[in-house]
A and B are shown apart, each in its own frame.
Chain A
Amino acid sequence: MRIERTVQRLVAHVVLIVACLLALFPLFWVVLTSIKRNVDANSPSVNAFAFTPTLQNYADLFNSPVFLHAALTTAVTTAGTTLGSVLVGTLTAYGLGRLWVFGRRVLVGMMVLLQVVPFLVLIVPLFNIVSAVGLYDTWIGLIVVQVGLFTPFVTWLMLAFFRSVPVEVEEAAFVDGVNRYQLFRYVLVPMLAPGLVAAGIFTAIASWNSFLLPVVLGQTVTQTLTAFAATFASSEQLLWAQMCATAVVILAPIVIFTLIMQRPLVNGITAGSLKS
Chain B
Amino acid sequence: MLVGLIGIVPLIYAVWEAFTNQGVSALHHNFVGFSNFMAAVFRPSFLDSLVVTGIFVVVCTVVEFVIGYGIAYFLNLQLRGYQLARSVLLIPMLLTPVVIGLVFKFMFTPKIGVVYALLQSVGVHIPWFTDAFWGKVFIVTLDSWLFVPFVMLMLLAGMSGVSKEQLEAASLDGAGWWKKTRYVSLPALAPVIMITLLLRVVDTSRMFDQVYSSTRGGPGTSTLTTSILVYNDTFGSFQFGYGAAEAVTLTLLLSPFYFLYIRLTRI
Contacts and interface: CB of A to CB of B under 8 A. Distances in A.
A45 interface: yes
Task: Categorize the interface residue count of chain A.
Answer: 35 or more
A16 B20 contact: no
Interface stretch (A51-59, A63-71, A107-115): A107-115
Interface string B18-30: 1110110110010
B125 to A, nearest CB: 14
Interface string A258-276: 1100100110011001111
A178 B235 CA distance: 54
Given A45-B117, A92-B9, A23 B107 contact: no
Contact of A247 (B102, B216, B231, B258): B102
Contacts of B205: 118
B111 interface: yes
Nearest to B216: A233
B251 A121 contact: yes
A61 interface: no
A114 B20 contact: yes
Interface in A218-236: 226, 229-230, 232-233
Contacts of B39: none
B267 A20 contact: no
Contact of B22 (A96, A122, A230): A122
Interface in B2-20: 2, 5-6, 8-9, 12-13, 15-20
A33 interface: yes
Contact of A149 (B19, B97, B150, B158): B19
A91 B8 contact: yes
Q: Which of A149, A211, A216, A275 has the most CB of B within 10 A?
A: A211
Interface in A93-110: 94-96, 99, 101, 107-110
A209 B99 CA distance: 9
A11 B230 CA distance: 45
B135 interface: no
A151 interface: yes
A4 B91 CA distance: 32
Contacts of B103: 26, 29-30, 244, 247
Given A23-B92, A229-B99, A48 B1 contact: no
B102 A229 contact: yes
Given A180-B1, A229-B98, A9 B79 contact: yes
Contacts of B243: 120, 124
A12 B95 contact: no
Q: Which of A181, A216, A270 has the most CB of B within 10 A?
A: A270
A148 B261 contact: no
A126 B145 CA distance: 31
B48 interface: no
Given A26-B145, A118-B251, A120-B231, 7 more contacts: A48-B114, A95-B8, A112-B261, A216-B235, A255-B95, A258-B91, A265-B90
Interface of B: 1-2, 5-6, 8-9, 12-13, 15-20, 22-23, 25-26, 29, 70-71, 74-75, 77, 79, 81, 85-92, 94-107, 111-114, 116-118, 145, 149-150, 153-154, 157-158, 191-192, 195-196, 199, 202, 205-206, 208-209, 212-214, 216, 226-227, 230-231, 234-235, 240, 243-244, 247-248, 250-251, 254, 257-258, 261-262, 265, 267
22 contacts: A9-B79, A23-B89, A29-B103, A29-B107, A45-B113, A48-B114, A95-B9, A99-B9, A123-B247, A125-B23, A151-B16, A156-B265, A180-B1, A180-B5, A181-B1, A211-B96, A211-B209, A243-B106, A266-B90, A274-B191, A274-B192, A274-B195
Interface of A: 8-9, 11-13, 15-16, 19-20, 22-24, 26-27, 29-30, 33, 41-46, 48, 88, 91-92, 94-96, 99, 101, 107-114, 116-126, 129, 145, 147-149, 151-152, 156, 159, 179-181, 205, 208-209, 211-212, 216, 226, 229-230, 232-233, 240, 243-244, 246-247, 250-251, 254-255, 258-259, 262, 265-266, 269-270, 273-276
6 cross-chain pairs, A with B, having the tightest CB-CB distances, nearest first? A125-B22, A45-B117, A118-B206, A95-B9, A270-B157, A121-B247
